[in-house]
């Protein structure tokens, strides 16, 4: 098929991007789930018979598969890419996994680009922030912009840098979600949801994350042992309410390990206000 854009994986991200951009005749998609073919038809993109068919003439490839399949898909696609094709790996995977995928793609004449999608594709769609890294990042930024993406930033020439930012940010974002669930399950069982949330509102500080991170680290270094002891009691409270204190028990360990630790970042070396 003579298509300039290839989409590997046509789940939420692939279908949302294709529909929002209106690629239609310019794009060909492939997904291992046969039922996705009807979605491709509805959006107007061509349905590739297999990877070879999908990649046959594409100069821009978007890999949007599941995290556990990303490296295998890159290795399978590598020998099928046209010479110089931009392989944009947009999957949420570890930097070392992306470097492994890059080695396979680059070895066959493709150009691998580490792309981190930094927000949910809905409602962001083509305005979702993209971070790019790799030797071909500048060319990929141009190609992605032409394809309709509006928020693109190059963060370096090293494959893995964009994904490192995404993965480490996820430690906080997904960690807060997990802590929220642990707290709310227990607060609900204890009948104190409104009071707990009101207390959190009262203590909330309007700080950017640079200042917040420095403050949190300083508190742990100075008071980690005392806080670890307190969190052990919090873990007992959760357990008594029938909630597994998975996140809280890990907090006990981290607080204890950080007690008396040397400053981690420059911001921490300055006394937080």
pLDDT for residue 1 is more than 50: no
Same domain for 22 and 120? yes
Same domain for 21 and 152? yes
Q: What is the reported pTM?
A: 0.88
Q: What is the pLDDT of residues 139-196, one digit of tens each?
A: 999 999 999 999 999 999 999 999 999 999 999 999 999 999 999 999 999 999 999 9
> To which residue do tokens 């038809």 refer?
41
Same domain for 172 and 153? no
CB 113 within 8 A of CB 89: yes
Same domain for 141 and 171? no
Q: Tell me what percent of the residues of the chain surpass a pLDDT of 70.
A: 96
**What CATH number is associated with residue 115?**
3.40.50.720
**What CATH number is associated with residue 256?**
1.10.1040
Same domain for 30 and 144? yes
Q: If DSSP codes are grouped into helix, strand and coil, which group holds residue 89?
A: strand
pLDDT for residue 256 is more than 60: yes
Strand partners, 116: 131
The span from the CA of 134 to the CA of 137, in Å, is 5
Residue ending a domain, among 158, 174, 204, is: 158
Strand partners, 5: 27, 60
Left if phi > 0, otherwise alpha if psi is -120 to 50, otherwise beta: which for 50? beta
Same domain for 87 and 208? no
Number of domains composing the chain:
2
Average pLDDT for 76-86: 97
Same domain for 140 and 31? yes
Beta strands in the chain (DSSP E): 5-8, 27-30, 46-47, 60-63, 86-89, 111-117, 130-133, 152-156
Same domain for 118 and 27? yes
In the prediction, which pLDDT does 217 show? 95
Say which residue, 272 or 107, is predicted with more confidence.
Answer: 107
- Which structural domain range is residue 110 located in? 5-158
Provide the sign of the torsion angle of the four alpha carbons 140, 143, 147, 150, taken in this order.
positive
The token pair at 13 is: 């991200």
């Amino acid at each position: 098929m003579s298509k300039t854009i290839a989409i590997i994986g046509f789940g939420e991200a692939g279908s949302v991007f294709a529909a929002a951009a209106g690629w239609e005749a310019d794009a060909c998609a492939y997904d291992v789930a046969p039922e996705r073919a009807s979605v491709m038809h509805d959006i107007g993109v061509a349905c590739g018979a297999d990877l070879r068919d999908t990649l046959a003439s594409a100069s821009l490839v978007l890999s949007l598969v599941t995290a556990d399949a990303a490296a295998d898909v890159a290795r399978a696609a590598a020998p099928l890419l046209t010479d110089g094709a931009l392989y944009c790996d947009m999957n949420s995977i570890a930097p070392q996994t992306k470097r492994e995928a890059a080695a396979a793609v680059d070895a066959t004449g493709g150009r691998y680009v580490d792309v981190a999608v930094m927000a949910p594709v809905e409602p962001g769609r083509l305005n979702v922030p993209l971070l790019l890294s790799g030797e071909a990042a500048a060319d990929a930024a141009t190609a992605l912009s032409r394809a309709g993406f509006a928020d693109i930033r190059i963060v370096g020439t090293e494959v893995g840098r964009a994904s490192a930012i995404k993965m480490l940010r996820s430690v906080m974002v997904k960690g807060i979600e997990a802590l929220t669930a642990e707290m709310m399950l227990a607060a609900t069982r204890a009948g104190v949801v409104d009071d707990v949330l009101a207390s959190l509102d009262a203590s909330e500080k309007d700080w950017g994350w640079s200042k917040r991170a420095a403050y949190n680290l300083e508190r742990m270094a100075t008071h980690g042992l005392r806080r670890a002891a307190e969190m052990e009691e919090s873990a007992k409270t959760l357990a008594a309410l029938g909630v597994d204190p998975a996140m809280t028990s890990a907090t006990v360990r981290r607080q204890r390990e950080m007690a008396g630790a040397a400053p981690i970042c420059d911001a921490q070396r300055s006394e937080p206000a």
